[in-house]
Structure 1
């Protein structure tokens, strides 16, 4: 992994240090000068939203906040924060990477590390539906709100919107998402909505239905949330019959990566879907940050190449 470099004005002596000591300095800054986080956000160099025909590559890193730490057969792959930050800094430094989606704790570490300069940054808003919990469908807003996203000079907020017709908690999640979309739009900030039609079978875990019909149904509900859809983007999976899926919306859509067992097949699916007019890019986390060979740079470069091919 590449070195992680704290901005010199955020480090007590500004001297070179090892990766380990830089992470120690993160803790020191957090414990003695927490105001540095807001100052780093205030001075961060931002980039604009995509141009007319531009497609985006955004790295997702909000999984740990929902207790989702596994990647393929590694149940605690994302457990080490320093390892995750190493991988994120490597990914963000690669050509063609436009930004990141993460929870407040991760974005704040990256701000202090100086890794968000010139990048889009989206804050994850609802992480309360912990993976595997009995209350998973009750996706409470436990992270960013619209006011804090605005204050931190982020570019928008992301929300998970799982719709389980058999779970009464779903209506609360829908209402909360609608309020968040409205609050973001009033500030002219992007609301990135990740909808799924979801169900439990025989009391088991909540599972997302990835059939084309279910994805279309989830899009139809999600795109109508809030008092306006002017600033709403969709974050959706690349599934079968994507032409029919994308015909369900006029909103811009970004493809999520998930945890694919076969990276070659995943690249092929993303490449095909990226050629559809409404698809404006990729938002991928575990698949690029924890590839089977642990070569983050090569995995990210492969996704960036897909973007260039259709750009």
Structure 2
């Protein structure tokens, strides 16, 4: 198995090794881990220009360090998946870190953080065909709905098309919906129960079928009422600090919640090691 020092040589002189590694990857027998849930490490933030973790605005900018953290997380018992863009997933393929893991390709990263065009979230990474060709289990898309920004409608249309294309190939379509507003020049997600219920209702109706659609949602107030808004399977995202673990535990008790998709709070924990943070999250499942 190549190590980090070998990646540049492979990428420079043997780029076809990436497709070969994808073809050779051992596929997971099931979407679910030994705990009967999904435990996915999210690592698609950098491609949207979002490099902050905790108080460090450039924490995720060191790619070697990020890959080391992801590999540590993926090696922990109970972690059975990863979400990323092509650059990250291909590095992990070359490092042999994706065998038996559920792999979700991140699709729309064009709504760069802090830009004037953030809501017009173009599909700039994976599409349904490339996800299928790579043998991955699904694709993830971010859907921010800003009632005051006309760029929302193109994102809605693109997400609907992506849901249909993934479903036609029997691949999971993981949709992460928010109602969003621009405040002081920055896009802010509205994290109220009412906003999440509305966003989830829109996301669930995208595409020609919802048979392969999953929702990726944050913990907000009144989660029992929020999750009653859909019959689609859902995964809980994000959260920061000590309180996040309690929030995840409560959300996992709800019938539609099937696991966790956590990134920066586990890869860059405020205290302790990556292994400790990941093991604690797995213990909640």
SS of aligned partner of 1:78: helix
State the match for 1:64 in structure 2: 46
- TM-score of the superposition, structure 1-length normalised? 0.89
Displacement after TM superposition at 1:223 (Å): 0.5
RMSD value over aligned CA atoms? 1.3
- TM-score of the superposition, structure 2-length normalised? 0.97
Matches within 5 A, 1:17-56: 22-47=3-28, 48-50=30-32, 54-56=36-38
Structure 1 spans left out of the alignment, 5+ residues: 1-6, 12-21
What do the CA deviations read for 1:186-212 (whole angstroms, capped 9, x no partner)? 0000000000000012x4200000000
Displacement after TM superposition at 1:293 (Å): 2.5
Structure with larger Rg? 1
Displacement after TM superposition at 1:24 (Å): 2.8
State the match for 1:282 in structure 2: 260
Over 6 Å off, 4+ runs: none
Q: Are 1:154 and 2:136 counterparts?
A: yes
Count of residue pairs the alignment pairs up: 284
What do the CA deviations read for 1:215-235 (whole angstroms, capped 9, x no partner)? 001001010000000000000
Displacement after TM superposition at 1:52 (Å): 12
State the match for 2:229 in structure 1: 248
Displacement after TM superposition at 1:71 (Å): 1.1
What do the CA deviations read for 1:84-108 (whole angstroms, capped 9, x no partner)? 0000000000000011000000000
State the match for 1:19 in structure 2: none
Structure 2 spans left out of the alignment, 5+ residues: none
Q: 1:207 to 1:64 in 2, by over 3 A?
A: same
Aligned 8 A contact 2:192 2:220 in 1: yes
Q: Are 1:132 and 2:114 counterparts?
A: yes
Displacement after TM superposition at 1:46 (Å): 1.0
SS of aligned partner of 2:60: coil
Question: Counterparts of 1:60 and 1:134 in 2: how far apart (Å)?
Answer: 25
What do the CA deviations read for 1:238-278 (whole angstroms, capped 9, x no partner)? 111111001100000000014x2x2x210000000000000
Question: Counterparts of 2:53 and 2:36 in 1: how far apart (Å)?
Answer: 30
Question: Counterparts of 1:190 and 1:217 in 2: how far apart (Å)?
Answer: 22
Question: Counterparts of 1:303 and 1:36 in 2: how far apart (Å)?
Answer: 34
Question: Counterparts of 1:98 and 1:125 in 2: how far apart (Å)?
Answer: 20
Question: Counterparts of 1:292 and 1:249 in 2: how far apart (Å)?
Answer: 33
Question: Counterparts of 1:53 and 1:94 in 2: how far apart (Å)?
Answer: 13
